[in-house]
Amino acid sequence: MSETIRLDVSGMTCMSCVGRLTDALNSIDGASDVSVDLEKGFASFSGIDENIATKTIQGLGYSVGSESLTPLNLKLTTPMHQSDFNWRDGAIWKQSANNTKWCLVGCSIGDFGTIAAFQFIFTDSGWSTMMIMALAMFNGIMTSIALETFILIKQMGGIKEAFRVAIGMSLISMIGMETAMNITDVLLTGGAMLTPGVIIPMLIAGFLTPWPYNYWRLKKYGISCH
């Protein structure tokens, strides 16, 4: 009988993480009996070299600790957690960057779309820059939640569960992202408008501003913005 190996995995935050890890491990030649547990924080499997599995999981941005289990010793132990917070965990930086990236994609759709609408369509609306920016921030948050819901529908088995996970994203992260993007826009253009020279700086500011917070949240509490 093949030895069953369990890897304690930190950084998983939702069923999307479970599905991503399960698919990745099952794609390795020889994999069998793959099981990923979100609540207890581990992945177990047979027929895979432990080093290959570890690299696969870390490649997705999760931290790994391991324990080899014989078929007669499959008792569960407490998953590994980071007890001492630090800013030097490369895997967490990578995972939080990926999470921040997807938040940025969703927020940018609503934000840029709103600004463009007032710039090119509703040109005589009479709305002030602050009013347009406030609406852009709101719409950005809504489209980020909508995008996350759409992405998770298949993995979560339906729109209801997908929406529940989506609204669990960090509001602080999204507000910080939206604020940074819109302040950058006003500083560089003097108002609520999109120009070829402002879009990239807006995206950079929107990404960098919440990234450290998302790292801290994921590293300290195992909770992701996305």
Largest CA distance in the chain: 74
User: pLDDT tens across 89-147, in order?
Assistant: 888 898 889 889 989 999 999 999 999 999 999 999 999 999 999 999 999 999 999 98
| Domain parsing of the chain, residue ranges | 4-69, 90-221
7 and 60 in contact (C-beta within 8 Å)? no
CATH topology classification for 4-69: Alpha-Beta Plaits (3.30.70)
d(CA 71, CA 86): 36
74 and 43 in contact (C-beta within 8 Å)? no
- Tell me the torsion sign for CA atoms 200, 205, 210, 215: positive
What b-and-e string marks burial along 111-146, b requiring 16 or more CB atoms within 10 Å of the CB?
bbebbebbbeeeeeeeeebeebbebbbebbbebbbe
Beta-carbon neighbour count of residue 183 at 10 Å?
A: 14
Please indicate whether residue 223 or residue 87 has the higher confidence score (pLDDT). 87
User: pLDDT tens across 183-203, in order?
Assistant: 999 999 999 999 999 999 999
